[in-house]
Structure 1
Amino acid sequence: MTLVLLLFSGIISGSEVAYFSLTAEQIKTFKNSEDPTELKVFHLLEKPKKLLATVLILNNLVNVGIVTLSTYASWKMAASMNMEKDDPILFFILTVVVTAAVVFFGEIVPKVYASHRNLSFAKQVSGLLSFSVSFLSPFAFALTHMGDFVEKRLKKKGIEVSVNELNDAVEIVTAAEETINAEDILKGIVNFGSTTVRQIMQSRMDIEAVDTSMDFHQVMDRINKSGFSRIPVYTESIDNIVGILYIKDLLPHIEEQETFQWQDKVREDTFFVPENKKIDELLRDFQNKRVHIAIIVDEYGGTTGLITLEDIIEEIVGEINDEFDIKEELGYKQLNEHTFIFDGKTSLNDFCKITEANPALIDQLSGESESLGGLLLELFRKMPNANEQVTLEGMLFKVKAVDRKRIKRVEVVFDWNTVDGDRA
């Protein structure tokens, strides 16, 4: 009986590897298959959490059965040999033999076999698993719901890092540790899945775009001043973006007259995304659609900002500067160990990374704002005048430049009450 349970344990362990190593392409072909076993495999994988819960329940039941029967058999053996049931030698032999048998025959061998023949193995055990899923449905339901509850609790605390994400982190850091700060990369990866496009986008105020009413020479002048390789095109208003102009499409026509119909070169397959989209999802969209730029829109369809593939990558590896980038364009200047000058439009996400300020505190006080200027408006509760200042958790914010509509430049001093007593 113990050998039968050991065989059953191997089949269950192999099933777990076989089913969850099937590729998305394989699973997709099963949907319309005429083979009933392939249809069973497809239906089992439609609810992967329920399938996994069933496999875990079966595996634990069988392993407990093996241990129970082995213990009973060892007691019988001890009685026939006039040994005590709690003899340490007997206990040691039982532990070693049962553990070795379960690990080798119930785990290693079947999993290695199933990983090489996952499709045939999955089809062979489809009937057994279909019956088990139905029979153990109440227990699997309870187990999956307990798992969902724990997962939600962890998400509320901001713990959303998977094993795969950590593996990716280790690989990236290993490859780049000689040239890039490994700690910064790890922080970027951990926060990657919780960052929205609104937090890292270029705001609509900073978008370099051209109007369809411009002539060719005006467009080329705007392109030369911007230095970008792709530029949005709008009609009448930036809220009505009609496409993206790729500068490489204009290169063969740079000698044309101002009447040249450059509008014919505009690519109209613009990629629009909502403000609350996560950047890890957007990165996959960029890969699938093979585009490098997206327009961010609000709930009313108006243009909120713009985001590029480079913006997303910089969230992991930090700022990527080429020979055309100017440091001041990063939006800040460090005057000394404690003092910074920031543009008011600097995103709070970048502000926290540059200064190592507490992101939780900043998020709590910023409301719906995503920029440093927006944070100060929340703190002042009005449009401040130049040289007005406000303190927050050891930070002094002093407005250096402001106009009627926005805060343009801010001085930030850390540990201000110890650095400069006159400021207190």
Structure 2
Amino acid sequence: MTDTAAALADPSTWITAAVIFVLLVCSGIFSGSETALTAASRGKLRAMADRSDGAAKGAQRALVLKEDSERLIGGILLGNNLVNILATSLATVLFTAIVGEGGVAIATLVMTALVLIFSEVLPKTYAINDPERTAARAARPIGLVIAVMAPVVAIVRLIVRGVLRIFGVKIDASANMLSVHEEIMGALSIGHSEGTVEKEQRDRLLGALDLHERTVEEIMLHRSGIEMIDGEADPEVILSQALRSPHTRLPVFKGEPENVIGLVHAKDLLRAVDRLTRGEDAPGISGFKIMDVAVKPYFIPETTTLDDQLRQFLRRHTHFALVVDEYGALRGLITLEDILEEIVGEITDEFDVKEAPELTPAPDGNYLIDGSMTIRDFNRATDFTLPDEEANTVAGLVIHEAQTIPVVGQCFSFHGFRFEVAERDRNRLTRLKVRKLG
């Protein structure tokens, strides 16, 4: 009987082969679990955990494991390397006993193929296809393995952190690579690029998400565009102005527009006129006093975030606020509708004044826009990416980058766009042509 035949006839050979097979299965479980637990979305796992089906407990365990990603990865990699090294060592012994000295090379080739296909690619492909459910199924056994290997993993973590600290890297096991907001915003952008999320849906959701990052200064109506009532004007003039105005709320000033002393609502004005004109003893319009119906104005700082201001509007049961700077000077006004429009888009009714469209695409690729158009609105309308860190409006961005107030016909190129001044009114850039380069 040859050595090969004798080795094949030996029961220990088949026992070793069976052990190698089991180790390869364990390696596949570790590899698939690593992929599933790292790729699984916390939001989807939380949704699964909140349901009452069979996967709820597994999803809850997976969430607990993902809270300490360093411990999770350390435990899985330690177990995976142990079974892979042990399987390779046993395979070397097995093939050496069967074919002699050439068994080392054969074992290397065979185990590389088996580990690559059945312990790496296959389980990871399966796991990435449905990471949340795979993570829920694998959470219990992986949790037990991590608990058993906890002392060794702790030592490995100390060594790893010590080495990284030498290079100035500090590890926070509970820190997420991305905030929840960034994760959602990234998912919406990917969904829109793939066609699964409509542009309007994306804009509404993104608008709601970044309210806490934007201030009232960015969307307020500038004081130059505020319609006000002169509190010292004749009653006839005040009433005529209120009737002509498309607005239901108007600030009241005394002396100069900066000195706002009240806010009048059209309904309060109508009630006052009714009292003054109805009945035999009614004094008439001449007895009308604007301050009798005006209420105290509500002032807010320009640095207030839209999220905070939305809460204040809801808490105070009001829709209108005047914006002031750090010196108390009037900067503009903001309404509840302005904030809601940042989420749902332009809101109009039958009393709104119809304006010419701000955005006009031209055949040459230029967009002819109003200089006061905000960068955010322009980006949302065109899917461009003009930066809005240094300016709120497109005209403001041009002036900031040019470091001067350009004249009509001047052109600039920055941030991958070409800007041309089409119209200018004194120091204001009223019309601009914008085109993306490349």
Larger Rg: 2
Q: Is the 8 A contact 1:14 1:113 kept in 2?
A: yes
- What does 1:290-329 correspond to in 2, within 5 Å? 298-300=325-327, 302-307=329-334, 311=338, 319=346, 322-326=349-353, 328=355
Match status 1:139 vs 2:166: no
Equivalent of 1:205, from 220, 224, 227? 224
* Structure 1 pair 93–107 and aligned structure 2 pair: CA distance change class (3 A): same
**Structure 1 position 372 matched with structure 2 position 395:** yes
CA spacing shift, 1:114–1:371, aligned 2, 3 Å: closer
Code of the aligned partner of 1:165: M
Q: CA deviation at 1:92?
A: 3.2
1:370, distance to aligned residue in structure 2 (A): 3.9
- Other-structure match for 2:283: none
Give the structure 2 partner of residue 58 of structure 1.
Answer: 75
Q: Does the C-alpha gap of structure 1 residues 110 and 73 become closer, same or farther in structure 2, counting only changes over 3 Å?
A: farther
Alpha-carbon shift at residue 219 of structure 1 (Å): 8.1
Deviation string for 1:241-289 (max 9, x for gaps)?
A: 899888789898884555695456x796x7x465485x6x669969997
Using structure 2 for the length normalisation, give the TM-score.
0.51
Q: Residue in 2 aligned with 1:227? A: 246
Query: Cα–Cα, structure 1 residues 391 and 219, in superposed 2: closer, same or farther, change >3 Å?
Result: same
Deviations 1:33-89 (A, max 9, x none): xxxxxxxxx9x99x96xx223323333333233322222233233334437344455
What is the match of residue 54 of structure 2?
none
Structure 1 residues 414 and 121, CA gap change in structure 2 (3 angstroms): closer
Match of 1:71 in 2: 88
Question: In the alignment, which of 160, 181, 187 is matched to residue 167 of structure 1?
Answer: 187
Match of 1:93 in 2: 114
Take 1:107 and 1:235, find their aligned partners in 2: how far apart are those partners?
Answer: 64
Change (3 A) 1:347 1:97: closer
Query: Are 2:33 and 2:135, in contact at CA under 8 Å, matched by a contact in 1?
Result: no
Q: Partners of 1:107 and 1:127 in 2: how far apart? A: 25
State the alpha-carbon separation in 2 of the partners of residues 232 and 380 from structure 1.
36
Is residue 401 of structure 1 aligned with residue 420 of structure 2?
A: no
The DSSP-based 3-state class of the residue aligned with 2:80 is helix
**Alpha-carbon distance between aligned partners in 1 of 2:28 and 2:112, rounded to the nearest angstrom:** 20
Structure 1 residue 390 corresponds to structure 2 residue 417: no
Could you tell me how far 1:372 is from its partner in structure 2? 2.0
- 1:192 deviates by 6.2
State how far apart, in whole Å, the 1-side matches of 2:151 and 2:234 are.
71
2:395 counterpart letter in structure 1: L
The residue type equivalent to 1:93 in the other structure is L
- In the other structure, the counterpart of 1:422 is none
Give the secondary-structure state (helix, strand or coil) at the position aligned to 1:328.
coil
Checking the alignment, whether the CA contact within 8 Å between 2:218 and 2:392 is kept in structure 1 is: no
Q: Give the conservation status (yes or no) of the 8 Å contact 1:331–1:346.
A: yes
For 2:85 and 2:346, the matched residues in 1 are separated by: 60
Please give the per-residue CA displacement for 1:360-417, whole angstroms capped at 9, x wherever unaligned: 6xx79xx6674627845985846x8xx8553324654254533xxx53x6354579xx
User: Distance in 1 between the 2:152 and 2:318 partners?
Assistant: 46
AA aligned to 1:67 is N
Q: Percent identical across equivalent pairs?
A: 18
Conservation of the 8 A alpha-carbon contact between 2:420 and 2:433: yes
Change (3 A) 1:209 1:66: farther
Q: How does 1:18-417 map to 2 (within 5 A)?
A: 21=45, 51-82=68-99, 84-87=103-106, 88-99=109-120, 112=133, 115=136, 136=157, 139=160, 142=164, 145=169, 162-169=182-189, 177=198, 196-197=214-215, 198-208=217-227, 225-228=244-247, 231=249, 255-257=274-276, 258=288, 262-263=293-294, 272=300, 274-275=302-303, 277=305, 298-300=325-327, 302-307=329-334, 311=338, 319=346, 322-326=349-353, 328=355, 343=370, 345-350=372-377, 359=386, 370=393, 372=395, 375-376=398-399, 379=402, 381=404, 389-393=409-413, 395-402=419-426, 406-407=427-428, 410-412=430-432
For residues 314 and 379 of structure 2, the distance between their equivalents in structure 1, rounded to whole angstroms, comes to: 31
CA contact (8 A) 1:297 1:304 kept: yes
Contact kept? 2:188, 2:197, Cα under 8 Å: no
Please list the CA deviations of residues 280-307 of structure 1 after superposition, one character each: whole Å capped at 9, or x if unmatched.
x669969997987776554446554445
TM-score for the superposition, normalised by structure 1: 0.52
Structure-2 separation of matches of 1:335 and 1:352: 17
Unaligned regions of 5+ residues in structure 1, if any? 27-41, 416-424
Cα gap change, 1:335 to 1:304, in 2 (>3 Å): same
How large is the RMSD of aligned CA atoms in angstroms? 6.7
Q: Which residue of 1 aligns with 2:14?
A: none
Q: Could you list the runs of 5+ residues in structure 2 that have no partner in the other structure?
A: 1-18, 51-62, 277-287
